[in-house]
Amino acid sequence: MTNSAYIPDDRRAKRNVTILVMAQALLGSQMPMIFTIGGLAGQTLATNLCFATLPISLIVLGSMLAATPVSWVMQRFGRRVGFMLGTLAGAIGGAIGAYGLYQASFPIYLMGSLVTGIYMSAQGFYRFAAADSASDEFRPKAISYVMAGGLLSAIIGPQLVKLTVDSMVIPFVGTYLAVIGVNVIGSVLFLFLDIPKPQPPAHDAPKGRTRWELITTPRIAVAVICAMVSYALMNLVMTSTPLAVVGCGFEKNTAADVVSAHVLAMYIPSFFTGHLIARFGVEKIVATGLVILAGAGAVALQGVDLENFFLALVLLGIGWNFGFIGATAMLAGAHKPEERGRMQGLNDLLVFGGVTVASLASGGLMNCSGGTAQAGWTSVNLAMAPFLMLAGGALIWLVLRPKED
């Protein structure tokens, strides 16, 4: 029997997209909040500055470790349960982070970051949930619209940081208390989500390909590589940005403004990325994203004036949008419904594995590769080059190979 969750129904899909856009806007605001202050708080707690960005690395590590279990929960119990689990983890992670700051304990603070990663993993499935019941024509637009919900998160998150970062005697504690509130309020949205719980497969139902067969399928392999590179390089540079901005003599609020501009640039293009994919093809949009990411690195290497930071981070956001949404759309059209949980969990495991390494490397490159903030910032941006070459080469190989698949 065909699972009703997978019958294309754009009317239902549009309703769900509306809910997911709101969730991306409100719940998603906690990520720019934490990414803005995570490295700065890490500097105040870590005994070795090379580990200042370790809190952000552990968020991404938590997301990577949670990707497969969260995907299994959604496949077994439905999207709503998985998303509610994510908000619960976000609130608990915020509470542990606040307690770690209160106790001036780096290990406790890191534990909070690890738990927060479960929320980040669940948020990563918003884009897949948007595509669940969408038609082939509406699917890239649905993914794009949900990602566009991050536009409001780019405004809400940094503004909440400005209001809360020094609102209590211990810096940053107020921000983590705000994170708890965001998760409690945002969890209500999922009560209105209308994605049917997947039915257990019949004994004679198709099982789909194994994980190895999926990841060695050329189109899937290239989609995963491009998603990994786009997300990892964005994280590599964004994680270092507050440290670089403050280290070059600017204020914490200025760092929040730069991150806000970056997150806006990540999501504003989502209003038309889906249309561009439908018109020009997903491969061209992913390629454009990789070129723009290279442009971001080039601008950052020109200097550490404030306009360099703003322009580089804006380009970084646009490049991520085209590269990551394009790769997501490529992946969503390359596997079957019965392979959804297996492939999406594997994809996010690999993507956030790469992001974990990038965020950890970010702190080392920024604080331990030259002695000055400017030298560290240069190292961070130079590190982008080989990975952009890898993703670009994989994409060219896919386009040029015979089309028998």
Q: Which comes out higher in pLDDT, residue 297 or 273? A: 297
Give the pLDDT score at 404: 56
Look at residue 243 and tell me if it is in a domain: yes
* Residues 113 and 58 sit within 8 Å (Cβ to Cβ): yes
Look at residue 1 and tell me if it is in a domain: no
Mean per-residue pLDDT, 278-303: 94
Q: What mean pLDDT value characterizes the chain?
A: 86
Number of structural domains in the chain: 1
Look at residue 2 and tell me if it is in a domain: no
Look at residue 254 and tell me if it is in a domain: yes
Q: Which comes out higher in pLDDT, residue 334 or 318? A: 318
Number of H helices, E strands in the chain: 19, 0
Q: Which comes out higher in pLDDT, residue 307 or 57? A: 307
Cite the DSSP H helix spans in 333-383: 340-367, 373-382
pLDDT more than 90, % of the chain: 40
Q: What is the CATH number of the domain that holds 126?
A: 1.20.1250.20
Question: Which residues form the domain of 144?
Answer: 8-196+209-400
CB contact set of 171 (below 8 Å; sequence gap of 6+): 41, 44, 101, 165
Amino acid letter at 178? Answer: A
First to last CA, the chain: 27
Cα–Cα dist 51/277, whole Å? 39
Burial class (CB in 10 A: 0-12, 13-18, 19+), 350: middle
Look at residue 114 and tell me if it is in a domain: yes
Cα–Cα dist 315/299, whole Å? 9
Look at residue 149 and tell me if it is in a domain: yes
Cα–Cα dist 38/36, whole Å? 6
Q: Lowest mean pLDDT of 161-170, 202-211, 258-267, 394-403, name the range.
A: 202-211
Largest CA distance in the chain: 65
Give the pLDDT score at 405: 47
Provide the pLDDT confidence category of residue 300 given band limits of 50, 70 and 90.
Answer: very high
Look at residue 294 and tell me if it is in a domain: yes
Look at residue 116 and tell me if it is in a domain: yes
